[in-house]
């Protein structure tokens, strides 16, 4: 399997196409990011101005020294107020991103679970002994491509990558590629982080649960197609 790093933005964009909740959370993140940038720009503009440029409306009879002191106090208070608003906007962006993270994770988890269910139903309906034989048949009938069908892709890829070499615990001879879908650690960590599964970052793919391996493989397939696996399935 070739290395294929992905980003949280790519994962969210992929999920948003078919998930209204992810689309809504993504829009919320973008709005929060724009608002934060607006407030940061306002703070920068104020900080660049001299206190003499931010003059309060004081009576002309007050001498210049007092005028400057009050101008300075006004400017400092304005900077503090804007800084608070920037901090609030940053907190709102963090909250929106965390919500998006959860929604993206739930989306890919649901997609993988549904694909596993369909694959099992297909195997049972065909009277197959294993999902691998069902996958091989599907791959042959579709000229080696599952055409975006996760229920076809998961068992088909396992048939090519790991079913005869240890299954979900398979490890390539050189130790680089691991698990049912032969992830290298860099790609595994990238997909885990981008899809909201920080708990899987740093986990050995070959020791992860079958459902976790299915989910990350499903996510990568939805984002990059079969290219990371050499164009098969």
Q: What are the φ/ψ torsions at residue 131 (nearest 5 degrees)?
A: -65, -30
Per-residue model confidence (pLDDT) at position 50: 46
Per-residue model confidence (pLDDT) at position 21: 95
Per-residue model confidence (pLDDT) at position 210: 94
Per-residue model confidence (pLDDT) at position 233: 87
Closest CA to 22 of 89, 112, 110: 110
The Cα-based distances of 100 to 25, 32, 87, 178 in angstroms read: 5, 12, 20, 29
**Is residue 2 one of the residues assigned to a domain?**
no
pLDDT along the chain (233 residues), means of 10: 81 94 95 92 70 47 49 62 88 94 93 88 66 40 67 92 92 95 96 94 96 95 91 85
**Is residue 12 one of the residues assigned to a domain?**
yes
Beta partners for residue 171, in sequence order:
178
Number of domains in the chain: 1
**Is residue 104 one of the residues assigned to a domain?**
yes
**Is residue 134 one of the residues assigned to a domain?**
yes
Q: How far apart are CA 156 and CA 53, in angstroms?
A: 69
**Is residue 1 one of the residues assigned to a domain?**
no
Q: How far apart are CA 167 and CA 46, in angstroms?
A: 61
Per-residue model confidence (pLDDT) at position 130: 46
20: containing domain: 8-229
User: Can you read off the two tokens belonging to residue 119?
Assistant: 């694959």
Q: What is the largest CA-CA distance in the chain?
A: 98
**Is residue 124 one of the residues assigned to a domain?**
yes
**Is residue 3 one of the residues assigned to a domain?**
no
pTM above 0.85, yes or no: no
């Amino acid at each position: 399997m070739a290395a294929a790093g992905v980003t949280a933005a790519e994962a969210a964009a992929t999920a948003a196409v078919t998930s209204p909740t992810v689309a809504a959370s993504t829009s919320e993140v973008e709005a929060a990011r724009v608002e934060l940038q607006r407030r940061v720009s306002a703070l920068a503009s104020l900080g660049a101005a001299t206190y003499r440029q931010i003059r309060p409306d004081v009576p002309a009879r007050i001498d210049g020294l007092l005028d400057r002191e009050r101008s300075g106090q006004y400017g400092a208070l304005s900077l503090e107020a804007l800084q608070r608003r920037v901090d609030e906007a940053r907190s709102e962006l963090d909250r929106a991103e965390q919500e998006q993270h959860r929604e993206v994770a739930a989306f890919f988890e649901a997609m993988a679970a549904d694909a596993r269910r369909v694959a099992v139903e297909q195997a049972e309906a065909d009277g197959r002994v294993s999902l691998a034989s069902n996958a091989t048949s599907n791959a042959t009938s579709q000229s080696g491509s599952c055409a975006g069908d996760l229920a076809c892709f998961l068992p088909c890829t396992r048939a090519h990558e790991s079913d005869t070499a240890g299954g979900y615990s398979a490890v390539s001879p050189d130790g680089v590629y691991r698990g049912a879908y032969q992830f290298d650690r860099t790609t595994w960590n990238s997909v885990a982080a981008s899809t909201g599964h920080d708990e899987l970052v740093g986990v050995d793919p070959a020791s992860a649960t079958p459902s976790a391996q299915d989910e990350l493989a499903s996510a990568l397939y939805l984002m990059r197609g079969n290219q990371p696996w050499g164009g098969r399935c």
